[in-house]
Each structure stands twice: as structure tokens, then as C-alpha cells.
Amino acid sequence: MKSLRNSSRSGTSYRWMVAPALLFAGVMIVFPFGYAVWLSLCEVALGQPPRLNGGANYARLAADPDFWNGLRLTLWLYAISLVAQLVIGTWLGLLLARTRRARGLIRTILVSPFMLPPVVIGMMAIVILDPSFGIANWILAQLGLPPRLWLSDPDTVILTVAAIDTWQWTPFVALIVMGGYLSLPGEVFEAAEVDGARGWQRFRRLTLPLLGPTLVTAAVLRSVDLLRFFDVIYITTQGGPGTASTTLNILAYRRGFEFFDIGYASAIMVTLSALVFGSVLVFARLRRAVTW
Amino acid sequence: MKRRELIGGALSLAAAPAFAQSGGFDWRRQDGQTITLMFNNHPWSQAMRDMAGEFTARTGIRTRIEIFNEEQFRARLTTFMQGRSAELDVFMTLASREGPVFRKAGWYADLAPLLADPALTAPDYEATDFAPSIQGANVFDRQVVAVPINQEGPLFYWRRDVFERLGIPEPRTLEDIPAAAAVIKAREPGIIPWAARGLRTAIPYAFVGFVNNLGGSVATPDGKPGMSQPGSVKAIEMYANLLKEYGPPGALNHTFTQVIELLGAGRVAMVHESSNEFANIMRFPNRANDLGVKILPPGKESGISKPAAIGWGIAISAHSRKQAAAWTFLQWATSKETQAKLVSAGVAPPRASVFKGPAFDAWTAELPIRRAWAEALVQLGREGSGVFQPPTDRIPEAREKIGDAVQQVVLGRATPAEAARMADEELAKLQ
């Protein structure tokens, strides 16, 4: 088969074949994002064409305590969820990789949480964690523990939301880790065993470094999702109690669709997008550093 | 000219030719068209979906009805309208909330010319039959932006059996409610004494009655934010304390769905919740027999009972290319005949003739609680207020600030006076 390079050497270029992909990216990604950036620089009155107002929306961001609260909550939720999912997911993935029996069945069970639509997850969380009717407090009562407010306590609501997301997405990380672990060269582990590496030492010095690229990939995928985490929070708390779970996504949604402040909401979302891009770039660099 | 005169003028001027015309009205004039309608999830919408076939049979107009929960409904509506989409013809609207913004955006078609057109409006439509307080919210400077589909407001529901068992008299004043709650909490630990909306954006609907009844007001006489007035501060304190001391755990995330669930399941002794949820409450076993319902009791000192009173309406999109067909739907849906049928779905009719008519009368006579509910609605229509916030065009934001003040007190982060002062500062920025 003639390679693209060969074809170009022979004078026939096939570069035009990437045009549909570029067009798709332009229409579906660049244009909407560019439009959001444009809106973020405008004052948007409903029913009127947007009017440029320079960086006024961004200046408002800097002075808005709700924005800083939203940024703090977004980063806090991101950090605890990501760490929990990577740690538990790695443990679960390695456990699964060493399991010989019923691996297919276990894998199917593990897939089910992240196959569920977020609205189902949110409704399940509301029912299970309801302080009056929910089974979570019933279980605590059976164990002789005091009831908790779960989603209604401003001090713990983010932890509860993080726990819901961790429940849903840890199996995803576990499956990635399992796949990564099973693809590692077996002779390295055999050699390590001959040299006397066991247990924690083997995990810390060998397994973890070798799994580095896999874990970074999992972290990138979860980062993008976690930073734009919206649906479950909106369904379970709508950003409350007070503003205790009003992350940047919730704040932007409310400003845009409830208060009709589209320009300002766009500025929040563009800022959040910059955060997402930033985190992906950091992980991309990290991936290069941990590649073996 | 006073606002009420303006409203009456706009409606009667618009409706006059329609009344003048006699003879048959051609309901099939728009035969063959298809219109798209977007509704908030509401007993009225559910009933409309079931009755849409009747409309098509009568007019030949087919309908595409989309129903969403309120938040999704608003988001989708905003997207459609901001995009000037001609795909949407009819939408539900709460003009007392979003009316000023939507009107300023030019999203409402003016219904006044349609009402005035005898070729498009049935002679027996009688637009002046709608309660003026309800239709008033749909008229802005002679522009009729919507027609009313219901009337609603929060009512006080209480468990008569629990009160009788504990020897507590029926609350006659607002101050009797916390006193009754204290007795219930002390003597009947299996039941939650009180439940009401605790979600920030949902609070003002139930809360404004406390403000008015305790002699306060959300605005000062000169139109400035009024949360720091003594009666308003007392209202913040009472509403917050009821939730905090006597409410269900997690009350700050509760809106009508949780409150109704608690009441229906027999877990709570008193609630202040929408008249509109009456039909849903009655679906739970025993509630038709053990509940009492009335308007929120008046404040002891003020003697006033003035809770929130609102009415949803239906509007035609200014971008619709099928406004005549859409208007045919609006007329049919808000006609006396259709509204009389909607009574059995628990939709309180905004038309005086239907409210006083035989169908409604027969329905309410079947159960004492229905009669009590109907009487409470009459009082609500007479005494209620559609004003939940100081004057501003940014109504949703203003309501959130008021809800936030109550939440801050429930969370113990501010005293009622501090929360009121902060709310007034924030509300002033929205004026």
C-alpha cells in the first residue's frame, strides 16, 4: 500500500482528505467556543444583538465573591474526587487484574455505574441520601451512628457530591488501570521477584512507575469530566444549601438561564474552559515525564 | 390612570368587537396547521396533554406538546427565544416573574389585537371574565402578553387529627403556628411539626405571606428594599426558626416536591405549600379526611393575611409564524368550557364564571376539604399579592437574595437583622 509520505513524494498529495475532519472540528468545536468567547466580551440583553463591552464581564468576575466561591468549590471538588478515584480505582484495578474467576461478570458489574445517565444517578442519590426517608441514614441508625444531612449540610455537601461521583466513576478508572496493568511486560515483574521485591516495595518501585502513563491518561479523562461536572449537582442540590455547592458550572447556568445574564455567564464558562485546557496541558507534560 | 383601570381598559377595548359579534365562530379557520407548545410540568400541562385530541378534533390544528420541569423549561425556552426560533408557537409563562424581562426582549406577541379581531376571537370568549388581579399580571402598558390558565398561591395545610389528638386548637393567628409546632415536637416525636420551602430560590413564594402578615413588606413605601423593616425582620426570624427548630432534616434543599411528599406520606403536621398541589396531596391515602386547609392565618397584631397569589399564563411567541393558529389554541385552552373540565384535574380556574359555576360547585361539594380549598382560593384571589420583591426588572435575582437571607439565618450564619440588612444592600443593587 502506498503511504501518505510516498504519495506526496510521488507528487500526489492526500492532505485534502483531512479537510472533512478540519471542517467538522471548525463547525462543532471552534465556532461554538469562539462564539462563547465573543459573548463573554459583550453585554447581552435578551432579544437584542450583543454589544461589545470590552473586558467588563471579566472585570466583574474578579470582583464577584460568588465567582471566587465557585472557583474554590470547583477546585476542591476536582481535587478530592480525582485523588479518591485514582487511589481507589488503582487498588480496584490491580485487584481485578489478579482475579481469575468471573472476571467478565465483575467487569460487567463495574461498567454499570458509569453507563447510567446522570439524571438517574442524581435521583438515586436524592432517594438514598434523603435525611428523612433515605436508606443511608437507616443504615447508620442500624449501626448505632447518628444520622447525617448528606446533601443538606453546607460543610459536607461537596464531600457527598464527590462521593457520588467517585462511586460512579471509580470503576472506569479501575478498568483503565486493569487494562494498563495486564499490558505490562511480565518478565520485569519476574525479574523483580527474583531480586526479592515483594508487596508494597514492588508496588511502589515497579508497578506504580510502570502504570504512570496509564494513570495520567485516566487522570486526564476524569479531569475534563470533573471540571465540567454539572448534572448531578444540579439535580441533587441546585448549588445549595446556600452557595455551598455552587460550582462554576452551576453559577454560570444560573446566571445565564435564570438571571438571563448571558455575557457574564459566558465569561464564567470561558474561564472554566481555560482551567480545563490548563489541566490537560499539565497532564500532557506529566505524561511525557512518566513515559518509560 | 391607575394600573387596574389600565388593565380593564386594555382588555375591554381589545375584547369589545369580540363581544359585539354574534353568530357562529369558525373554529376550523386554521385547519391543517401544526403548532408547537412548550409547557412547564404542572397539573394544567398534564391535563392539556390529555385533552389535546379534543382541540385537534374541534379545530383541525395538530399540536406538538413538550413538557419539562421548571428549570429545564426555562433554560430551553430562553435558548429558543434568544435564537429567535420560529419553531415555538406557544409557551407557558409566569409573567409576575419573567414578564418585564421577556417583554423588554420582545418575546411576547401582543394578544390585544388578536382579542380585538372578531374573525379570530370567538364571541363568547369573554376576556373580562378573568379575575382582574390575575389578568393584571399579564398586561404591561396595554400590551396583553398572556392569558391566565390558573390561579394559585401557598395555603396552610394542617393535620386536623394530630391537632385534635394533642388538644391543640386550630391556628387562628400566624403566631399560633410556632406555638403549635412546639407542642407537637414535645409530645409527638414521630411527626415533623412543620415543613415549607427551604431552597433559596423557592423560599420567597412561601415566605412573603409571613412578611405581609407580620406587618412588614418587601419594599418600603418609596419602593426601596424593605427587608430591614421590623415586620420583615420578624418574618425572617419566624420562617427560619420554623424550618430550623421544627422542620424536616435537610429542609434547605426542599421545594414543593419534598414538602408534598412529606405531607402526603403523613410525616408532617403543618405545611405552607401551593394550592396547586392540592390534587397531588389528595392522591395520598387518608389525606382527604385528616387534613385542613386555609389561607395562612393573619398576624396577631396586623390582622392581615396576604400571601403570594400568582397565576400562570400562556403566551404566543413573537417569533411564531402561526400566531392565528396559536391564538386559536389559547382561546380554546382558556375558554369557559375547557376550564370547567380542568377543575377535575385540580386546576383552580381563573375565570370568575367557572369558579362560581355549577361544575366547580358540584366538584367542591363532594368533599369538605375541596370546599375549604375553594374558599381559601377565593380569599387568596381577594387578599393575595403577586409582589414577592422590591421593584426591579431583575426579579429572579431579587427573589434569590430574599431566599438567601432566610437561609443565612437557618444556617446560623447571620441574625435576622443582619441577614435583612445584607439582603437590602444586595436588593438595592438590583434596582
pLDDT tens-digit readout, A49-78: 889 998 899 999 999 999 999 999 999 999
Instruction: Please compute Rg for chain B using Cα positions.
Output: 22
Q: Which of B19-23, B197-201, B328-332, B364-368: highest mean pLDDT?
A: B328-332
pLDDT of residue A112: 86
Tell me the CA end-to-end span of chain B in Å, nearest whole number: 24
Whether chain B has a CB inside 8 Å of the CB on A150: the answer is yes
Residues 126-145 of A with CB under 8 A from B: 130-133
Domains and CATH numbers, chain A: 66-290 (1.10.3720.10)
DSSP states of B383-416: H-B---SSS-S-HHHHHHHHHHHHHHHHTTSS-H
Beta-carbon separation of B201 and A258 below 8 A:
yes
What 3-state class would DSSP assign to B312? coil
CB atoms within 10 A of CB A37: 14
Q: What values do phi and psi take at B175, rounded to 5?
A: -65, -20
Facing A240 at nearest CB: one of B106, B249, B253: B253
Give the strand pairing for B143-144 and B291-294.
unpaired
Whether chain B has a CB inside 8 Å of the CB on A260: the answer is yes
DSSP strands (E only) in B149-280: 154-159, 192-195, 268-274
**Chain B residue with minimal CA distance to A137?**
B249
Dihedral of CA B385/B391/B395/B401: which sign? negative
Is residue A170 within 8 A of residue A92, CB to CB? The reply is: yes
Q: Show residues of chain A in contact with B201, CB under 8 Å.
A: 238, 258
Q: Return the bridge partners of B271, or none.
A: B157, B195
pLDDT band at B175 (very low <50, low <70, confident <90, very high): very high
Q: Return the bridge partners of B92, or none.
A: B314
| C-alpha triplet A58, A275, A159: angle, nearest 5° | 110
Q: Which residues on chain B place their C-beta less than 8 Å from a C-beta of chain A?
A: 71, 74-75, 78, 81-82, 101-102, 104-107, 192, 198-201, 248-253, 258, 261-262, 265, 267, 394, 396-397, 404, 407-408, 411, 413
Facing A46 at nearest CB: one of B82, B396, B413: B82
Distance CA B398, CA B219 (A): 12
pLDDT of residue A16: 83
Beta-carbon separation of A131 and B107 below 8 A:
no
Distance CA B140, CA A250 (A): 32
Q: Show residues of chain B in contact with A150, CB under 8 Å.
A: 250
Domain B3-151+310-368 class, CATH top level: alpha beta
Whether chain B has a CB inside 8 Å of the CB on A149: the answer is yes
Distance CA B378, CA B371 (A): 11
Facing B411 at nearest CB: one of A131, A154, A236: A154
Beta-carbon separation of B249 and A132 below 8 A:
yes
Distance CA A175, CA A180 (A): 9
Whether chain B has a CB inside 8 Å of the CB on A64: the answer is no
CB atoms within 10 A of CB A164: 23
What 3-state class would DSSP assign to B36? strand
CATH number 3.40.190.10 given to B154-308+384-429: yes
Chain A: closest CA distance from residue B76 (Å):
9
Average pLDDT, chain B: 90
Residues 6+ apart with CB under 8 A from B45: B39, B65, B67, B92
Beta-carbon separation of A152 and B250 below 8 A:
yes
Residues 6+ apart with CB under 8 A from B90: B35, B36, B37, B38, B314, B315, B316, B317, B320, B326, B329, B330
The C-alpha cell of A168 is what?
Answer: 460512579
Within chain B, all domains assigned CATH 3.40.190.10 are found at: 3-151+310-368, 154-308+384-429
Whether chain B has a CB inside 8 Å of the CB on A264: the answer is no
pLDDT of residue A41: 96
Helices B395-410 and B230-246 pack at an angle, to 10 degrees, of 60
A interface test, pick of B82, B253, B255, B256 with most A CB neighbours within 10 Å:
B253
Is residue B204 within 8 A of residue B402, CB to CB? The reply is: yes
pLDDT band at B372 (very low <50, low <70, confident <90, very high): very high
pLDDT tens-digit map of A134-158: 899 999 999 999 989 999 889 999 9
**Chain A residue with minimal CA distance to B407?**
A242
pLDDT tens-digit map of B57-84: 999 999 999 999 888 898 899 889 988 8
User: Three-state SS across chain A?
Assistant: CCCHHHHHHCCCCCHHHHHHHHHHHHHHHHHHHHHHHHHHCEECCCCCCCEECCCHHHHHHHHCHHHHHHHHHHHHHHHHHHHHHHHHHHHHHHHHHHCCCCHHHHHHHHHHHHHCCHHHHHHHHHHHHCCCCCHHHHHHHHCCCCCCCHHHCCCCHHHHHHHHHHHHHHHHHHHHHHHHHHCCCHHHHHHHHHCCCCHHHHHHHHHHHHHHHHHHHHHHHHHHHHHCCCHHHHHHCCCCCCCCCCCHHHHHHHHHHHCCCHHHHHHHHHHHHHHHHHHHHHHHHHHHHHCC
pLDDT of residue B415: 97
pLDDT of residue A2: 47
**Chain B residue with minimal CA distance to A260?**
B78
Question: Number of residue pairs across A and B with CB atoms under 8 Å?
Answer: 84
pLDDT of residue B325: 96
Whether chain B has a CB inside 8 Å of the CB on A32: the answer is no
pLDDT of residue A9: 58
What 3-state class would DSSP assign to B429? helix
Beta-carbon separation of B82 and A234 below 8 A:
no
Dihedral of CA A147/A153/A156/A159: which sign? positive
Distance CA A212, CA A169 (A): 19
B interface test, pick of A39, A43, A152, A245 with most B CB neighbours within 10 Å:
A152
Tell me the CA end-to-end span of chain A in Å, nearest whole number: 32
Residue spans of chain A under pLDDT 70: 1-11
pLDDT tens-digit map of B1-41: 444 444 444 444 444 444 333 347 899 999 999 999 999 99
Beta-carbon separation of A149 and B397 below 8 A:
no
CB atoms within 10 A of CB B372: 18
pLDDT (mean) for B203-226: 95
Dihedral of CA B328/B334/B338/B344: which sign? positive
pLDDT of residue B281: 93
Q: Does position B112 have pLDDT exceeding 50, yes or no?
A: yes
Distance CA B333, CA B181 (A): 42
Q: Return the bridge partners of B292, or none.
A: B158
Distance CA B123, CA B17 (A): 8
CA torsion B103→B109→B114→B120, rounded to 10°? -150
Chain A: closest CA distance from residue B404 (Å):
6
Chain A: closest CA distance from residue B144 (Å):
18
pLDDT-above-90 percentage for chain B = 67
Q: Which residue has the cell 384535574?
A: B345
Instruction: Please compute Rg for chain A using Cα positions.
Output: 24
pLDDT tens-digit map of B349-360: 888 888 888 888
Is residue A118 within 8 A of residue A232, CB to CB? The reply is: yes
Q: Return the bridge partners of B68, or none.
A: B40
pLDDT of residue A7: 52
pLDDT of residue B32: 95
pLDDT of residue A11: 63
Q: Show residues of chain B in contact with A256, CB under 8 Å.
A: 78
Q: Does position B266 have pLDDT exceeding 80, yes or no?
A: yes
What amino acid is encoded at A241 in this protein? P
Q: What values do phi and psi take at B37, rounded to 5?
A: -125, 135
Instruction: Determine which of A11-25, B139-153, B227-241 has the lowest per-residue pLDDT on average.
Output: A11-25
Distance CA B428, CA B189 (A): 43
Distance CA B27, CA B385 (A): 36
Chain A: closest CA distance from residue B55 (Å):
31
pLDDT of residue B18: 41
pLDDT of residue B16: 40
Q: What DSSP state is assigned to residue B351?
A: B
pLDDT of residue B264: 95
pLDDT-above-70 percentage for chain B = 95
Q: Is the link from the previous residue into A241 a cis peptide, with omega within 30 of 0?
A: yes
Beta-carbon separation of B102 and A46 below 8 A:
yes
